Structure 1
């Protein structure tokens, strides 16, 4: 019985300590009203022992948090303060063994009601115009746009008042969802419709002045009737203002400025606002009601000028006299058909300027084009439509050729116009800048491993990308604050590196805790610093891109429960030579009873160094080698490398990293050139190798000839540091394939302090196997032929007389 209880206890400990990847898929309800308490349910999987709701914005506090009936849910009470910002509040759920993906909770000014649905929740009860769901004015409805579904909500309104509708659909971040809305009168005539909005992107808004007392119906559906049960929305219905743009679109930090909010059906709304220090979204107030979503206002220290009409030609370019010197910014509106706005500025020879348009970035419908010219004669300098990386806002970089005045003119690419075609042109000097970001691990799962989760007594590494603009420099990484018991390791990152591993380690007794932390990078010479920027894509579709995202300069970092294994990395104390290899030894230290396979990868490799994508420590085993190989032009330097391992448990995957291990890439000790050899099938031969020692070594080195064709073999040979030539006998069988074999090379293994230094040298060695010459033909015996007597020569008359006389 004791043995059985021990086994059960061991299995229970393994199961309860293996929920390393909590999955949070849904938050219900999707939002709440300011100044209220909201009971919230978190749904997903592996939500064991929830510890904390990590909130990215102030205004919401957690009154209570408890686990659900099983590991698929958790419950919390959120307290929304009266001064909480309206809109999206990103959050994560931190459990004892991990941190979830980022999800969102939305704060609104109205009470929330839910769409009426059938008892089984599979259908709704408001999909007919004649039987809509009755709602009061100034309410938020949470609903679902199913396939071929149209949801109708009826509200009473009075003549002359504003009736506005705004939807949060795609922005809820659950699925690609393109909502459509319409405001209908009692006869089902459309008074306003909207699909997409530059301000809200794929989400939409519509607003009218009510023409007469009566009932009005709000229609919400998926634009193509292709919704799903995941197409959730929050629709705000009320008397709130809904401007679509703001002018001027920018101001200075701390400046008190009068902003004009444009596009509301009641007319422009003016408001004096004191700006903060960063880009803001301002919710305009009308009476006691605010717009549900704010209008973005750019914050910049640049001086700026607002356009003054007329400025539609080079002669009337603003300002006509006393042009301001760069850096400077200009504001304007493309308000007329084929409108072109011109601005004048001064610049000095040699200045490196960037002319950047902000229009789509500020949620304006303008698709800008710009042209830069000399002011003195109108000579063309350059132009731009869309900047790089698919951004529709224009950008042009140029080196100022001479002191003087220059003009920039801006227009809409398709000659469209509206009071909302607002823009800002920034003319600034190209300044150095630094930043760091974590790249997506998978295109289809852009949040994968974007949290830093360190198991107690273990390590985890990240490999962020470094961005250097207008500067080349080494980089130091700074973590001003970390969870208790956590340290970070990374050497100075050389200027030619665009990424590098950063290793976090938690002490064995580190408290299980976490939160949001800001990191920085720094140029050690100039002391220029830049932030660690994080972009979370909530809705991303392959080949279509990103539909909703959240930007932050803080990362989620947490100490989590112990992992069932540790990884130790050992690199031999010898160099990795160019065109050579090195075996890294990886050892797993497993907890008792944990035997599952561990997949190991090297997340970062030096330039010119290769390695397998993955190697696997087999089930029940504790060691494996990972082979590095260096190209012939690999940079000569010393690096620090590490490996990361992952394994599956009954409740998810867990990741850990090894220690850093030094790897030095150096020149080879020996070079070798193979001379061409020729032979025939079945005829042994010898290939000659010319040996050049580049660095002295002790003892003998092993030499093995590789890439020989089938039927040819060679034995291992030895060389010393003073060897200059090596003869390698080849045994050639009759089965050897004829032809030219030109991929021969030698592996030379030099041993230093008991550790091998493999070299692959002599590439391109050639063995030519010729066909044997044809056997000589035997000559046939000539046939015997009877000799014919030659005809007698006729005797002359004199010879005849002599013969006669002799007789």
Structure 2
């Protein structure tokens, strides 16, 4: 069974052994609350090897909370101050070997799993910035944590020693803050030393690495660039101030090659400048790729803790895992056949790296650089030329919204270029040239150049990061699709699902861009003697040609000015168990229900509740995901005080409604334990069909000039369609007509007879005619697809 914790390679017993077990009391089981949500944490990080008291704020946090982290903790996790469900305290110890960097943190309760917040593990002690005045630091290294609101300026004074480099790193976007920091460094007398705003590779965060020229004190000012610092926790920062002694400060990217091809073993190198603006003095160490597994999901970006005893590293980069053909620093003479991925870097100032690709004349290709989006300081410019040197296309910065970059959050403005190239008909080879816009170079200016033919494609993103599945109930998931030339039907499916977890529904009709499904989990929480861990469920969208597309989610942690600056990819849906609820919901979930366009189908639902445990308030029943265009799903209300009801949901299909299978997920919204709650019925599969099926008694009629012949058949209404039908005959041979003109087929009849009459001078002929039907749907008419029949006129 693949659990969320196995995927991130943290031993489950180490992680969960310290937590409280589920209670056995029926009273607890009868008490239901929504899953927990987190809004803030304080402090935003801590020093490894120390005991922390972490204050979490949000909602529904107090019901046996458990700390869920991708790193182990030492000893028990002690919860305190549980009286207020919107705020709890947790006391725990970070092991000394915990990898430094920013990690997602969640809370699990009896009712599900919370959203993630970012928590930074540092090698240095943390101090809170004093609210007023200048804070004086007696010794370094240290991490100062504080908040900037509006036009506030936080000031810190600290001693420096001549010749010892000082690292000053303002982590804001990287910890989920919306603060856009600017740093200004002076002496207390006002002599300017250095300043920084947006550091290449760090998004909007700022970093300084400065060598003091004397033993003296420095004064650091930190403010919001726009003097509009966000309120409260959205303006949080963590400011590292440290002499560069005894640890390594990696560059923002710091890892080469910038990827791990699945199924292959590579040696990685860390690069970390030990003095400012110096290409020398770099630290490099190799590591065998521990993630070279052929079954690893491709294209997902995870924070793998590549922690070594030496050196002590202060950040961990994202590590892409790829299945596409990858080449590491290929020679410029190599002839590369797309699709392919080149892993390379700009080492010397002013260098231009060139890569040659064999392409098909007249075909279109997409070329993408990934550097800044992964933390590389490279500001890449991509130029595509003929082999003779003539420029075909060039690109610099990109605003992401393209399907090819669906793994990045929409609206991200990045220094990474993307271009689409329509290859001229006389070109069979192209040269892609990569350079830094500012002419810089260095071993950390790494990039990933991807080239792929443009084909029909689809991107499917989860709308939820996590869901709770109550015992005996269901959890609902929804997806958003971006289609590019792929307009066929889609079916959601699970990949190697954990034991007991299954999916219902997931059918998305042609051209539709939203969909959903429900999950069930056969867990026995009330009989459990061990905590039930959350599970990472991998999903895929199955295309009509059999291909599958992985379904994931971009988790955005900060959006200063609306631009995402800290985000991660979650390769699937995290599912957590929850206590049973005192409401039972039922719906038909076996064979698909037929619904004819213009017709209606009745979906019988079941609603039953324990009034004492669930309360007697009203509940509203409606669709969970936006309905397929053309479908009409009315709301149904369960009145207050009703313990049992069997409402019938009448579903109608108007125009236009795409045909094929679609999933309808009824949801019930009401109040449980005083809290707004959403519960899910079983997913209902509906097959939208044409309103009429027509059959002919014979596919061929024959008549002589001046004679007649009869064409008879049956028009069977289906899927709840009950309107009159108008027959339409086309492509008759010259001289052959319908006599008399056929009357519409009334609603109480399905058989029909048509008389074909040939004029006395009708010429001999043998043609393929068609007969169809017009079915009124509201104020419009649906042309039921015609069927062919043969008409022969013989002398």
Q: Is TM (by shorter chain) over 0.5?
A: yes
Within the candidate set 144, 158, 162, 1:159 is matched to: 162
Give the superposition deviation at 1:291. Answer: 5.2
Q: Is 1:259–1:272's contact at 8 Å kept on the other side of the alignment?
A: yes
Range moving further from structure 2, 450-459 or 327-336: 327-336
Partner SS for 2:585: strand
**What whole-Å deviation, never above 9, does each CA across 1:464-483 have from its counterpart, x for those lacking one?**
3467889889656225344x
Q: Is 1:42–1:74's contact at 8 Å kept on the other side of the alignment?
A: yes
**What whole-Å deviation, never above 9, does each CA across 1:119-173 have from its counterpart, x for those lacking one?**
xxxxx24x24xxx333411111222224443222222221100111112223332
Q: How does 1:210-229 map to 2 (within 5 A)?
A: 210-227=212-229, 228-229=231-232
Q: Once superposed, what is the RMSD of the aligned Cα atoms?
A: 4.5
Give the superposition deviation at 1:588. Answer: 1.8
Aligned to 1:461: 476
Distance (Å, rounded) in 2 between the aligned partners of 1:354 and 1:74 = 49
1:517 paired with 2:536, answer yes
Distance (Å, rounded) in 2 between the aligned partners of 1:394 and 1:164 = 31
In structure 2, do the counterparts of structure 1 residues 110 and 16 end up closer, same or farther at CA, with 3 Å as the change threshold? farther
Within the candidate set 368, 378, 382, 2:393 is matched to: 382
In structure 2, do the counterparts of structure 1 residues 585 and 135 end up closer, same or farther at CA, with 3 Å as the change threshold? farther
In structure 2, do the counterparts of structure 1 residues 555 and 696 end up closer, same or farther at CA, with 3 Å as the change threshold? closer
Partner SS for 2:169: strand
The number of aligned residues is 650
Distance (Å, rounded) in 1 between the aligned partners of 2:373 and 2:179 = 22
Q: Which runs of 5+ in 1 are unaligned?
A: 1-11, 117-123, 307-317, 441-448, 672-691, 704-716, 726-746, 749-758, 766-807
Distance (Å, rounded) in 2 between the aligned partners of 1:159 and 1:304 = 41
1:695 paired with 2:713, answer no
In structure 2, do the counterparts of structure 1 residues 232 and 22 end up closer, same or farther at CA, with 3 Å as the change threshold? same
Aligned to 1:536: 555
Aligned to 1:477: 493
Give the superposition deviation at 1:503. Answer: 1.9
Distance (Å, rounded) in 2 between the aligned partners of 1:702 and 1:372 = 60
1:24 paired with 2:47, answer no
Question: Highest CA radius of gyration, 1 or 2?
Answer: 1
| Larger RCO (CA within 8 A; separation ≥ 6) | 2
Q: Is 1:575–1:665's contact at 8 Å kept on the other side of the alignment?
A: yes
Within the candidate set 341, 344, 352, 1:341 is matched to: 352
Aligned to 1:302: 326
Within the candidate set 596, 605, 628, 1:586 is matched to: 605
Q: Which runs of 5+ in 2 are unaligned?
A: 1-25, 293-300, 402-410, 695-712, 725-745, 755-773, 783-795
Distance (Å, rounded) in 2 between the aligned partners of 1:275 and 1:431 = 34
Distance (Å, rounded) in 2 between the aligned partners of 1:296 and 1:264 = 24
**What whole-Å deviation, never above 9, does each CA across 1:573-625 have from its counterpart, x for those lacking one?**
97422123344343321222322222322234675432247543332343545
Partner SS for 2:285: strand
Distance (Å, rounded) in 2 between the aligned partners of 1:761 and 1:142 = 64
1:329 paired with 2:329, answer no
Aligned to 2:701: none
Aligned to 1:66: 79
Aligned to 2:67: 53
Q: Is 1:141–1:234's contact at 8 Å kept on the other side of the alignment?
A: yes
Within the candidate set 403, 417, 421, 1:394 is matched to: 417
Within the candidate set 491, 503, 525, 1:488 is matched to: 503
Q: Is 2:493–2:542's contact at 8 Å kept on the other side of the alignment?
A: no
Q: Is 1:349–1:402's contact at 8 Å kept on the other side of the alignment?
A: no
Distance (Å, rounded) in 2 between the aligned partners of 1:163 and 1:340 = 30
Q: Is 1:48–1:71's contact at 8 Å kept on the other side of the alignment?
A: yes
Q: Is 2:386–2:392's contact at 8 Å kept on the other side of the alignment?
A: yes
1:407 paired with 2:431, answer yes
Range moving further from structure 2, 595-604 or 245-254: 245-254
Q: How does 1:45-444 map to 2 (within 5 A)?
A: 45-55=59-69, 57-60=70-73, 63-66=76-79, 68-116=82-130, 124-125=131-132, 127-128=133-134, 132-173=135-176, 175-227=177-229, 228-230=231-233, 231-240=235-244, 241=249, 243-244=251-252, 246=254, 250=258, 253=261, 254-258=265-269, 260-261=271-272, 264-265=275-276, 267-268=278-279, 269-274=282-287, 276=289, 277=291, 290=312, 292-294=314-316, 302-305=326-329, 319=332, 327=340, 329=342, 331-333=344-346, 341=352, 343-349=354-360, 353-375=365-387, 377-387=388-398, 388-389=400-401, 392=414, 393-398=416-421, 404-411=428-435, 415-419=437-441, 422-424=445-447, 426-430=449-453, 438-440=461-463
